[in-house]
Amino acid sequence: MWNGGSITTAATFPSPTFSDVAPRAVPARKTLGEVEGLAPLIAAKSVVRRYGSGPAVCTALDGISLAIQSGQFIALTGPSGSGKSTLLNVLGGLDRTDAGEVWFEDRELSTLSDAEISNIRLHRIGFVFQDGHLVPVLSVAENIELPLLFRQDIARTERNQRVAQAMRDVGLWDKRHRRPDELSGGERQRASLARALGGRPSVVLADEPTANLDQHTGAAVIRLMRALCARYGSAVVCATHDGQLTSCADQVVRLSDGRMMPS
Ligand code: ADP
Ligand code: MG
């Protein structure tokens, strides 16, 4: 259990001017044509991931090739079991591949040590999961601060500012002392998004973040995610069944049985 020793108390955060969660103007996104020729942020090349062995083998990813450019918003769709979560885990270095390559900028993940991959995750990638994955015994402020405590490049003052900004960004300043079980589902996902963005990641990998939300709340979380990622320049890859999300994505990637379907 977290002992709270080095967590900054929320009382020390600078008092914010609350900014409404309504998104600010979203900069125009690059079309695929405009980004062509640029080196991708993340590239998967003929990626294969199998679970099990022998006759029981399950090929979760069966030759996936995909390029994610900086600032792009990609919706990842497909039926349950089609490989969405596996692909997000592989792109984020949480899972290994059995064949193929995953490049993060100019580094291929299978050539890196666990420590080097952890370092990329800590500094460059934000994760948002279906149920938020917040630490139940920590407050909203402490949950957002937690990953920043591992960042040696972020001093205490900046850390406090980022946590306060993140809580303002997602409209949770007033609920900063609450624990996750004292929040609604939508608030938990906003806290999870704030935690992911506090690190100013190059990419946010989101696994069905609206799956447990009603349509109205899910739409609000999607708008917020899009607006904030645009503000901070983060690319997004978001696994979803949500038609609202696919309609506002720059690119929709459809999976079926571990393969990409033509769009
Ligand atoms: P989705 O997120 O689209 O629902 P997943 O990536 O979770 O799909 O799963 C893809 C396939 O891989 C499914 O057939 C699933 O049963 C299988 N799978 C996922 N994780 C594991 C695991 N840890 N062990 C064995 N099979 C798995
Ligand atoms: Mg899944």
**DSSP string of 32-73, one letter each residue:** HHHHTTSPPSEEEEEEEEEES-GGG-EEEEEEEEEEE-TT-E
- DSSP code of 195? H
Beta strands in 121-195 (DSSP E): 125-128
d(CA 9, CA 140): 11
Task: State mean pLDDT over 15-35.
Answer: 42
* Pairwise CA distance, residues 61 & 78, whole Å: 13
Name the strand (E) or helix (H) holding 236: strand 235-239
The rounded Å distance from CA 175 to ligand 2 centre is: 29
CATH topology of domain 69-81+114-254: Rossmann fold (3.40.50)
Ligand nearest to the Cα of 87, by number: 1
Residues 42-64: tens digit of each pLDDT: 999 999 999 998 888 999 999 99
pLDDT attached to residue 244: 72
Atom number, ligand 1, closest to the C-alpha of residue 86? 6
Res. 20: pLDDT tops 50: no
Structure tokens at 168: 């303002």
CA dihedral sign, ordered 160, 166, 168, 174: negative
Which two tokens mark 254? 């459809």
CA distance 198 to 147: 8
Least confident of 74-88, 111-125, 181-195, 210-224: 210-224
Is any ligand 1 atom within 6 A of the Cβ of residue 64?
no
Question: Could you tell me if 19 and 169 are in contact, meaning their C-beta atoms sit under 8 angstroms apart?
Answer: yes
Domain coordinates of the chain in residue numbers? 69-81+114-254
Of 75, 68, 71, the C-alpha closest to 44 is 68
* Model confidence band, residue 37 (pLDDT cutoffs 50, 70, 90): low
Through-space distance between the first and last CA atoms of the chain, rounded to whole angstroms = 46
Backbone angles phi, psi at 260, to 5 degrees: -85, 135
Is the CB of residue 60 below 6 angstroms from any atom belonging to ligand 1?
yes
Q: Band of the pLDDT at 106, cuts 50, 70, 90?
A: very high
CA of 161 to the centre of ligand 2 (A): 34
